[in-house]
Amino acid sequence: MSEPRDLYRGRARCVVKPKDALEVAQVLSLCNAHGVGVVPQGGNTGLVGGQTPDSSGRQILLSLQRLDRIRDVDPRSDAMTLEAGVTLARAQDAAESVDRYFPLSLASEGSCTIGGNLATNAGGVHVLAYGAARDLALGVEVALADGRLLSTLGKLRKDNTGYDLTRLFVGSEGTLGVITAATLKLFPRPRSRAVAFLGVSDPAQALSLLGFVKERAGPGLHAFELVPRIGMDLVLRHIPGARDPLSAVHPWYALVEIAGFAEGEAERIAAATLSQAIDEGFALDAAIAQSLDQAAALWRLRESMSDAQKREGGSIKHDISVPVDRIPEFIAEAGRRIAAHFPQARPVPFGHMGDGNIHYNVSQPVGGDKAAFLARWDEMNEIVHGLVHEFGGSISAEHGIGRMKRDLLARVKDPVALDVMRALKAALDPRGVLNPGKLL
């Protein structure tokens, strides 16, 4: 079995599909007693190998897809409790069924699951306005290695009774316990939405545009995505139906989404703000979607970026974050360092500029040898991740550590923080059966 990028393959002793939290706990208790490793898996959409077993054939794959009940949706408390196997798309639909909004949004939302979203502290396109998965969780139900069930489920917004165990398990990638259910925050449903695509000269102008729009849209600014022209060219070349929304070609673009809580509010704010942005030199051109279909088409340009790169051959990927104000400087310096070591390689940096998360992907040279390029993955990582460290950033913004970045984490994480993480692992999983070989 493998993960979406086919970078990691493994072989499990068997696949276990429990139907509820109690059965998950019983499986863990049995495996713990016999020292058998357990690899939890949700929708198998992770990108760092955290959901794949090793090649030994001795580990058990624990599928959580049968834990798919929506236990409660409460619009008065603005909360819902879902089991780990519920897909993100179903969670969004459950919120909408009671006229509420669940803001976590990922390209894989039709197949990724709530348990995996929380285990990896998934980010997505609306972190700017609502935060990552950790910020959306009110409580979790977790099966521990020894078979006990821990629950912090509940609708309380304020609870200062000791350590915040909910946030401990969110982002732990199945190494401290297996999340079986969660209580999640709901929000008022936006009544209007405006999506715009703007041309800019460079990331520095995009950064200025971000500040300009934030000042005028306030919390209504839901997303601000950075797109390079090279990425646009790849999408237009490889994705059927993709069209350039602007009449002129620009070096860079910003995809902006503004939401409003009254009919027509977002459209009014967007039209006035973006017109003023062009007049005052914060952008070169803009197109505002005039329908839901047009809005979806603009988002498709951004969300097809990775797929388009696959069709160009090898691509070495980095999910990194740096302080927002240093993004232009980082992109420029990374480009210089890569050009010095990988002539003709094509950097394609794009992503969530509003929260500092850039997917710094590098495509192989045109006509180059894919295998030879991908064989230098570690060398490329050294360049990009080394620069991230210099800029005070993170080597993993939203995809997690898994198998891919485990060794790198040990080199860049604060030693005291690593000691605390190892102590937690030893206390909650002394036999090391929970997702062994991942994260730590």
In tens digits, what is the pLDDT along the chain, a chain of 440 residues?
777 777 788 899 999 999 999 999 999 999 999 999 999 999 999 989 899 999 899 999 999 999 999 999 999 999 999 999 999 999 999 999 999 999 999 989 999 999 999 999 999 999 999 999 999 999 999 999 999 999 999 999 999 999 999 999 999 999 999 999 999 999 999 999 999 999 999 999 999 999 999 999 999 999 999 999 999 999 999 999 999 999 999 999 999 999 999 999 999 999 999 999 999 999 999 999 999 999 999 999 999 999 999 999 999 999 999 999 999 999 999 999 999 999 999 999 999 999 999 999 999 999 999 999 999 999 999 999 999 999 999 999 999 999 989 998 988 899 999 999 999 999 999 999 999 999 88
User: What whole-number distance in Å separates Cα of residue 215 and Cα of residue 138?
Assistant: 30
What's the pTM?
Answer: 0.94
User: What whole-number distance in Å separates Cα of residue 411 and Cα of residue 421?
Assistant: 14
**Token duo for residue 262:** 């009254």
- Give the per-residue pLDDT at 136: 98
DSSP string, 324-336: GGGHHHHHHHHHH
- Pick from 316, 440, 293: nearest CA to 380: 316
- Give the per-residue pLDDT at 434: 98
The percent helix, strand, coil of the chain (3-state, each to 5) is: 35, 20, 40
- Strands laid side by side in the 70-74 sheet: 70-74, 79-83, 178-185, 137-143, 149-151
| Phi–psi pair at 407, nearest 5 degrees | -70, -35
- The residue behind tokens 């080597």 is 395
Given the DSSP bridges, would you call strands 38-41 and 60-63 parallel, antiparallel or unpaired? parallel
| Phi–psi pair at 320, nearest 5 degrees | -125, 165
Q: What integer best gives the mean pLDDT of the chain?
A: 96
Query: Residue 253 pairs with which residues in a beta bridge?
Result: 199, 227
- Give the per-residue pLDDT at 218: 95
Q: Distance between terminal CA atoms of the chain? A: 22
Query: Residue 193 pairs with which residues in a beta bridge?
Result: 259
**Token duo for residue 306:** 């990775």
- Give the per-residue pLDDT at 242: 96
